[in-house]
Amino acid sequence: MAQASGNTDTRQGILDTAHRIVGAKGFSGVGLNEILAAAGVPKGSFYHYFGSKEAFGEALLENYFQDYLADIDATLAQPGLSHAERLMNYWRKWQATQGSIDYQRKCLAVKLAAEVSDLSEPMRLALKSGTAGIIDRVTGAIEAGVAEGSLKVDGEPRATAEMLYHVWLGASLMAKIVRTDAPFEAAMATTRRTLNPRPA
């Protein structure tokens, strides 16, 4: 049992280290040796934990989204706030995270979507599943906010959630190009106009 736990810890350590490195350099630009050296894992043991680099990439994305979705759940369940306040806090956290230079916190969906979607079907499907989970949660928050009266939207909640996710994903990419917060400020303005947040 202790050996299995050690294997799990080592595997998680590789994924945690890879998130930081891949978040900075991308997936294709990082060699396995670099990740293993940074994680303090012997080079020859990689395939003990992952069947291939592609399988490793899939596991990296699945692990990332598991943590990300848990964080969304916590943000959207924060006590003492309206559903509108919780949802707006989620977008503020997105801006703070994507505007940060801390690659440990960077969104791998933003970083890897264009790079790996045409190269690896398993990684594309991991991205698809993870982003669908985000949209599901935003949809639920919008529905709850409308029912509560703290949000007022003109369209269907799911279509609204999809549109806003696309807006913020695009803002994150543009922010990399212009290296200012202007795309995020525009995304936030669009979000406020779309959701019409108000006191419950």
pLDDT of residue 105: 52
pLDDT of residue 198: 86
User: Model's pTM, two decimal places?
Assistant: 0.88
pLDDT of residue 4: 46
Contact yes or no for 69/133 (Cβ under 8 A): yes
* CA–CA distance, 54 with 58 (Å, rounded to integer): 6
pLDDT of residue 7: 67
Matching residue, tokens 């959207």:
76
Q: Which residues of the chain, if any, have pLDDT below 70?
A: 1-7, 100-106, 199-200
pLDDT of residue 103: 46
pLDDT of residue 2: 34
Nearby residues of 41 by Cβ (< 8 Å), 6 or more positions away: 10, 13, 14
pLDDT of residue 67: 92
Query: What would the pLDDT profile of 66-112 be if each residue is shown by its tens digit?
Result: 999 999 999 999 999 999 999 999 999 999 888 765 444 567 888 88
What Cα–Cα distance (Å) separates residue 67 from each residue in 24, 28, 105, 148?
Answer: 19, 23, 11, 28
Contact yes or no for 137/89 (Cβ under 8 A): no
What Cα–Cα distance (Å) separates residue 51 from each residue in 46, 56, 59?
Answer: 8, 7, 10
